[in-house]
A and B are shown apart, each in its own frame.
Chain A
Amino acid sequence: MTMEDDIKTASADAGTNPADAATPAAERSTFQRILTVTVGPIVAAFVLSAIILMLVGVNPLTYYGYILERSLFSGLGLQQTATRMAPLLFLSASLIIAFRAGIWNLGTDGQFLLGAVISAATAPLLVGVLPGWALLLIGFVLAALVGAVWSVIPALLKAYQGVNEIITTLMMSFLGVLMASTLVKLVFRDPTTTVPQTRTLPVEDRLPRLFETSISSGLIWGLVAVLLVHLMMTRTAFGLRLRMVGANPAAAAHAGLSVPLLTMATFGLSAGFAGMAGASEILGVAGNVRANWDPAYGLMVIPLVFLARFHGVGAIVLVFFYSALMIGSESAARRLGVPQDFTLVLVASLLICLGLGEFIDQRKRKKER
């Protein structure tokens, strides 16, 4: 019942996420609610992190100043921020499908890396053999397929045996990460380099850049993926079937839906998008996969998707915010000597404060009833 409740409040509260701020709140004024659930917690998180920064002897204003300057107010930084969004958006799409369908796919990291490796292994070999667009298309399709294949075991276990997918997808994720690294070292290694890594896709064969900037067009595809997934889950018959299986499998079986097949479809789609996230990073930005490379974007995106309450537009806004933070803090770390991992402190305090904001909001609404 708890998860259903969550989803119920999630759909009922879609108006509280920043993207939908225009929707009027039912009881308290919209302004107050935005204050409690978004603006307030964000300010609180920055204050909290500022205190920690002061304790280690760094001027928080300088630090935050760098972040803003580097990620948003400098042309290059803004471009980097936008480029970083692409894989995160694909991962958001993956998680929106899974979570709305009641499946906890926590194995996106493994699916992501395997998708990245397969696209990095094939794309450079096809340069000159196929036209550029076909090469990229094949890279994405293969990545999606490999990601989906990696979810088959958890999917079968969940669909036909009812095995908890949280555990199986996490386990498969660890295996996937190690498998990716093994493949790079043993199978797809570029013989011309000394460091273990795959062959590199030449810059001119990667995803085209937008206009005259360095922004990868993966951003556009990521945005399209999130919006399409959002519309699919909320507006189509197929999406409703998936959501029904997630919300009440007994009712779905009663209504004549094939619960196991739809569960398999959820896994396949979700893992497929995770694989494409990997491809977007490789074919758009990195060009190759180094052994032991694991950005762990998958687990990072989970809280963002939750805070967006599985809403596509909300997820896009939060992904943008988060990318800016990552890019900004990377350079702030270099200049000020604050370890780069301090981003995690900032993000963690943000999550805690946003969670507290939700809690306060829930309590206030309960009191009003």
Chain B
Amino acid sequence: MDIVTETPTNLPPEKGAGIIGIHGVTKRFPGVIAIDDVSLTFHPGEVHVLLGENGAGKSTLVGILAGLQEPDEGYLSLNGQKTRLSSPSASLDAGISTVFQHSVLVPTLTVLENLTLGAPWYERPPRDRIAARMAELKNEFALSLPLDAITGELSLGQQQQIEIARALLRDSKVLILDEATSMLTPQGAEELGARMQKLVKSGLAVIFITHKLAEAYRFGNRISVLKQGALAGQMGPEQIGSMSEDQAIDEIVRMMFGREAATTSNTHRESTARDEVVLQVEGLTTPGDADVMGLEDISLTLRAGEILGVAGIDGNGQKQMAEAVAGQLPVTSGRVMLDGEDISKATVAHRRRRGLRYLTDDRLEEGSVAAFPVSENTVLKDIGQPPFWVNGLERPQRIAQHAREMIANFSVRTPSETTPIGRLSGGNIQKVLLGRELHGEARVVVFNKPTYGLDLQNIDTSRQRISEIAERGLGVVLISTDLDELMALSDRILVMEGGRIRGIVDNDGSGEALRLRIGRMMAGEEEHKQASA
């Protein structure tokens, strides 16, 4: 765990010889085989992309390499030697550093303190040495970090840089980045891609876990595709080099699904909008502060059967708008009308019963109660309502039956309806939440990033469901950061920036021209873009 700063990281890349190998590894969890007989070799000087759907076994593989879990069968090798990584410190000692999907920094400590965590307790933090190394790293990898800043005040992108810097200060040989781009802006992701290439040029092996196909092609030297725990295929550097992005993506999709990508088509759905207005929002304004962006004068009209897309860089007030409409966020002024009735004063529960549904994007922290079984989670928004409760008394059989139906209808993968929902993968939790919002008499559904983090097949199904909902005559507000999704589904697209509506455009199918118009509105003023980065 010592931070050794003397040895240079610039080892010559040893091509051909793998630094870590995974040999016939199998890992089982109750009811599920997470990894099934997977063998992989990771080489220095390469960005090795592990690609797979949710629940394909990527996270388990990371856990094994990071020393959090040990394989049930098979073994690991380090520089050709059979080895065991029985704890996170064993993994670190072996030169493997992991940057997890969710930051593991201490937000109240300074950057310097975070960098020196794990050093022996009797040493003073070697500030000068670290400052000198950071200066080097800044030149080599464009990592620029204010050492005395409080970590929690930095952006997510910068926090990720701290974790990468920490790995480099440890002189790691292998750097694992788990879903590292999921919290970055597109621009931040590009920067990370460039940084990864610099890192591997200096002799590191980088393992990059993602479920985004384009990133795999753009950032990776070698791509391994996992499918339901097994290795579905691999593409070496030569193969990737010889392909265009579209060719590579087709090939990857073929490996992942055994079918051609049908979802990436640009055809957008037939409008099913009717004349009748179901939701009207007038001049909605909410208080904002340094942490929460306020809304300013949000007005929109939604007709039955219409899908209104909401575009914008994440964190520009989309969530606040959804919460204000759903009644979760107190407003300073403005009105919300559902079917012509003013519901501005109504509670969340009342709005839900009237047919206004809101599917949150924060599945774990807001949408579900992790410790509760799947069955209870399916009815959390209907507590006390028949048929699940009669006179306030729970009817467990009825709830279990309802949960089993939902599990079947939405193909939720879970050992049973009694499993705590926190043990399910994100995609499966999302399916439960989707089922919960669609239950009963809905009039308007507000979707906040409904397909975020889902695998391709589920994205496909979810989008179909959203179309069907609109066809049935419900109004849909679709908040998404995926412009393709909005352009494929929406009748109109509303663009938010800085808590305001920058414009509402008709989705006229004009393709690239429309995309550019929306992109310019999303960018808004430059400082807002920076703030949300």
Q: Is the CB of A255 within 8 A of B371?
A: no
Residue of A nearest to B390 (CB): A237
Q: Does A186 interact with chain B (Cβ within 8 Å)?
A: no
Contact of A236 among B30, B349, B380, B393 (CB under 8 A): B393
Bound: A97/B365 CA distance, A? 23
Segment at the B interface, from A5-13, A70-78, A212-220, A348-356: A5-13
Residue of B nearest to A250 (CB): B366
The residues of A that contact B351 with a CB separation of less than 8 Å are 256
Interface positions of A from 251 to 272, Cβ below 8 Å from B:
251, 253-258
Q: Does B213 interact with chain A (Cβ within 8 Å)?
A: no
Segment at the A interface, from B13-21, B111-119, B219-227, B381-389: B381-389
- Check A244/B369 contact, CB under 8 A, given A235-B393, A236-B392: yes
Q: Is the CB of B366 within 8 A of A254?
A: yes
The residues of A that contact B371 with a CB separation of less than 8 Å are 4-5, 7-8, 11, 247
Q: Is the CB of B365 within 8 A of A240?
A: no
A309 CB, min distance to chain B CBs, angstroms: 13
Q: Is the CB of B349 within 8 A of A256?
A: yes
Q: Is the CB of B392 within 8 A of A251?
A: no
The residues of A that contact B362 with a CB separation of less than 8 Å are 250
Q: Is the CB of A235 within 8 A of B394?
A: yes
Q: Is the CB of A250 within 8 A of B365?
A: yes
Contact of B365 among A235, A236, A251, A256 (CB under 8 A): A251
Q: Is the CB of B392 within 8 A of A238?
A: yes
Which one of B371, B380, B384 has the highest number of Cβ atoms from chain A below 10 Å of its Cβ? B371
- Check A254/B383 contact, CB under 8 A, given A8-B420, A237-B394, A240-B376: no
Q: Is the CB of B392 within 8 A of A255?
A: no
Q: Does B370 interact with chain A (Cβ within 8 Å)?
A: yes
Bound: A256/B30 CA distance, A? 34
Q: Does A241 interact with chain B (Cβ within 8 Å)?
A: yes
The residues of A that contact B365 with a CB separation of less than 8 Å are 248, 250-251
B396 CB, min distance to chain A CBs, angstroms: 8
Q: Does B285 interact with chain A (Cβ within 8 Å)?
A: no
Q: Does A363 interact with chain B (Cβ within 8 Å)?
A: no
Q: Does B58 interact with chain A (Cβ within 8 Å)?
A: no
The residues of B that contact A256 with a CB separation of less than 8 Å are 327, 347-352, 381
Interface positions of B from 312 to 348, Cβ below 8 Å from A:
327-328, 347-348
Q: Does B286 interact with chain A (Cβ within 8 Å)?
A: no
The residues of A that contact B369 with a CB separation of less than 8 Å are 244, 247-248, 251
Bound: A131/B507 CA distance, A? 79
Residue of B nearest to A4 (CB): B371
Q: Does A335 interact with chain B (Cβ within 8 Å)?
A: no
The residues of B that contact A244 with a CB separation of less than 8 Å are 369, 372, 380, 383
Q: Is the CB of A237 within 8 A of B384?
A: yes
Interface of B is mostly: mixed
The residues of B that contact A369 with a CB separation of less than 8 Å are 29-30
- Check A237/B328 contact, CB under 8 A, given A254-B366, A256-B347: no
Q: Does B519 interact with chain A (Cβ within 8 Å)?
A: no
A245 CB, min distance to chain B CBs, angstroms: 10
Residue of B nearest to A1 (CB): B370
- Check A237/B380 contact, CB under 8 A, given A247-B369, A248-B365: no
Interface code B236-257, partner A: CB below 8 Å = 1, 0 otherwise? 0000000000000000000000
The residues of B that contact A247 with a CB separation of less than 8 Å are 369-372
Residue of B nearest to A3 (CB): B371
- Check A251/B368 contact, CB under 8 A, given A236-B394, A241-B383, A244-B380: yes
Residue of A nearest to B389 (CB): A237
Residue of B nearest to A253 (CB): B328
Q: Does B367 interact with chain A (Cβ within 8 Å)?
A: yes
- Check A248/B381 contact, CB under 8 A, given A254-B328, A254-B360, A256-B347: no
Q: Is the CB of A4 within 8 A of B352?
A: no
Residue of A nearest to B380 (CB): A255
Bound: A36/B371 CA distance, A? 25
The residues of B that contact A253 with a CB separation of less than 8 Å are 328, 348
- Check A8/B422 contact, CB under 8 A, given A254-B360, A255-B381: yes
The residues of A that contact B394 with a CB separation of less than 8 Å are 235-237, 240
Bound: A218/B146 CA distance, A? 66
Residue of B nearest to A245 (CB): B369
B447 CB, min distance to chain A CBs, angstroms: 14
The residues of B that contact A248 with a CB separation of less than 8 Å are 365-366, 368-370
Interface positions of A from 170 to 193, Cβ below 8 Å from B:
none
A250 CB, min distance to chain B CBs, angstroms: 5
A312 CB, min distance to chain B CBs, angstroms: 16
Q: Is the CB of B30 within 8 A of A251?
A: no
Contact of A255 among B30, B350, B383 (CB under 8 A): B383
Residue of A nearest to B396 (CB): A235
The residues of A that contact B366 with a CB separation of less than 8 Å are 248, 250-251, 254
B472 CB, min distance to chain A CBs, angstroms: 24
A102 CB, min distance to chain B CBs, angstroms: 10
- Given A237-B389, A369-B29, 13 other A-B residues pairs in contact with their CB atoms under 8 A: A7-B371, A8-B422, A235-B393, A237-B384, A240-B394, A243-B372, A244-B380, A247-B370, A248-B368, A254-B348, A256-B327, A256-B348, A258-B347
Q: Which residues of B contact A (CB under 8 A)?
A: 29-30, 327-328, 347-352, 358, 360, 362, 365-372, 376, 380-381, 383-384, 389, 392-394, 420, 422
27 A-B pairs with C-beta separation under 8 A: A4-B371, A8-B371, A11-B371, A12-B420, A235-B393, A237-B383, A238-B384, A238-B392, A240-B383, A241-B383, A243-B372, A244-B372, A244-B383, A247-B370, A248-B366, A250-B365, A251-B367, A253-B328, A253-B348, A254-B348, A254-B358, A254-B360, A255-B349, A255-B381, A256-B327, A256-B348, A256-B352
